Amino acid sequence: MTLETMLSLMSEGMIKTCGIFILTLLGAMPLGLIVALLKKSRFIVVRGIVSAYISVMRGTPLMLQLLAWYFGPYYLFRLEIGGWRYPALILGFVLNYAAYFSEIYRGGIESIPVGQYEAAEVLGYTRVQTFIHVVLPQVIKRIMPPVTNEVITLVKDTSLAFSISYVELFSQAKQISSSHTTFMPFVIAGVFYFVANYIVAFIMGRIEKRLDYYK
């Protein structure tokens, strides 16, 4: 099989990998902020539920979570799961990464000195205004390095979709390698992951430099 043919066959897998990556970020980053704020709730029950969610998501393998989300409805409720594979995949990724992002956000929020809140209160800001105009800009700057690390990890973790037989880039590479007895598909996949992570690191680095004025 020629290199051109391999690239053609793997192109669909590359697109699906990008889809998992983008949808996970779109869902996990805002959800993570909500979870972080809920963990600081004044209600102990809310804090307890959120803490338990974060502990489970961070304390169990993502692959196991994907299997649970996909096969769970059938084993628990005997529901048909024929069209459930992709929704289960995205749900599993979003909930898992939201837990990690929430802890990053929480750390950033708690790093803001109390004096910032007091100064905003003196100026007549409401709690929402204080968070949006005073706290959030500083938090974004401070959390950029750990967020970048998580996004890079996500690029590589998309390969775990193979665990529920979703054919993305890595699964496509395995299929071609097995059927044609060649290691080249894995090389192509490795190059794709490397280039994708390089682009992510470059973009996040540029964003971080743009935020230097928050120092």
Helix ranges, the chain (H): 3-39, 44-59, 62-77, 85-110, 114-122, 127-130, 136-157, 169-180, 184-210
Written as six digits, the tokens of 65 are: 């979570």
CATH code of the domain made up of 3-214: 1.10.3720.10
Residue 139 DSSP SS3 = helix
Closest among 102, 100, 107, 108 to 58, alpha carbons compared: 100
Written as six digits, the tokens of 132 are: 């949006």
**Looking at this protein, which amino acid is placed at residue 213?**
Y
The tens digit of pLDDT for each residue in 4-30 reads: 888 888 999 999 999 999 999 999 999
The tens digit of pLDDT for each residue in 40-80 reads: 899 999 999 999 999 999 999 999 999 999 999 999 999 98
CA 138, chain centre distance (Å): 22
pLDDT at 212 over 80: no
